[in-house]
Amino acid sequence: MTVSERVLIAGAGPVGLVAAANLVRHGVPVTVLEGGVDLSTESRASTFHPPTLDMLADLDVVEPLIAQGLIAPTFQYRNRRDGLIAKFDFGDIADQTRHPFRLQCEQSKLTRIICDKLRGNPNFEIAFASPVHAVTQNSNSVTVTVERDGKSETHDYRWLIGADGARSDVRRSLGIAFDGFTWPDRYLVVSTPFDFYSVIPHLDPVSYLADPVRWHFLLQIPKLWRVMFRIAAEESDELALSPEFAQTLMAQVVPGIERYEIAHTTLYRVHQRVAGAFRSGRAFLIGDAAHVNNPLGGMGMNGGIHDAINLTERLAQVWYGEKPDAELDRFDLQRRLVTKEHVERQSIQNKHNLEADDNEFRDLLRQTAADPALTREYLVKVSMIGSLRRAEQLG
Secondary structure class of 390 (helix, strand, coil): helix
Sketch the per residue contact string, 246 through 275, with ligand FAD: x for CB under 6 A, - otherwise: --------------------x-x-------
Q: Residue 279 or residue 362: which is nearer to ligand FAD going by CB?
A: 279
**Whose CA is closest to 312, among 284, 288, 336?**
284
What is the phi-psi region of residue 138: left when phi exceeds 0, alpha when psi lies from -120 to 50, beta otherwise? beta
Q: Which stretch binds ligand FAD (CB under 6 A): 8-16, 114-122, 135-143, 347-355?
A: 8-16
Helices (H), 13-105: 14-25, 50-58, 62-68
CB of 242 to ligand FAD, least distance (A): 19
Rounded distance between C-alpha atoms, residue 62 and residue 374, angstroms: 29
CB of 227 to ligand FAD, least distance (A): 12
Burial of 322 (0-12, 13-18, 19+ CB in 10 A): exposed
Q: Which stretch binds ligand FAD (CB under 6 A): 5-13, 93-101, 323-331, 370-378?
A: 5-13
**Range 39-98, binding ligand FAD (CB under 6 A):** 40, 44-47
Per-residue DSSP letter, 242: S
Kindly state whether residue 176 participates in binding ligand FAD, applying the rule CB under 6 A: no
Contact 290, 277 (CB under 8 A): no
Kindly state whether residue 145 participates in binding ligand FAD, applying the rule CB under 6 A: no
Geometric angle at alpha carbon 42, from 38 and 48, rounded to 5°: 110
CB of 320 to ligand FAD, least distance (A): 26
**Range 302-331, binding ligand FAD (CB under 6 A):** 302, 304
Q: Please spell the DSSP secondary structure of 348-376, one letter per residue.
A: HHHHHHHHH--HHHHHHHHHHHH-HHHHH
Near ligand FAD by CB under 6 A: residue from 62, 101, 164, 391: 164
Q: Residue 84 or residue 166: which is nearer to ligand FAD going by CB?
A: 166
Near ligand FAD by CB under 6 A: residue from 8, 11, 20, 338: 11
Per-residue DSSP letter, 324: -
Q: Residue 40 or residue 123: which is nearer to ligand FAD going by CB?
A: 40
Kindly state whether residue 287 participates in binding ligand FAD, applying the rule CB under 6 A: yes
**Whose CA is closest to 158, among 2, 326, 370?**
2
Contacts with ligand FAD by CB under 6 A lie at 10-16, 33-36, 40, 44-47, 107, 131-132, 163-165, 169, 189, 266, 268, 287-288, 295, 298-302, 304
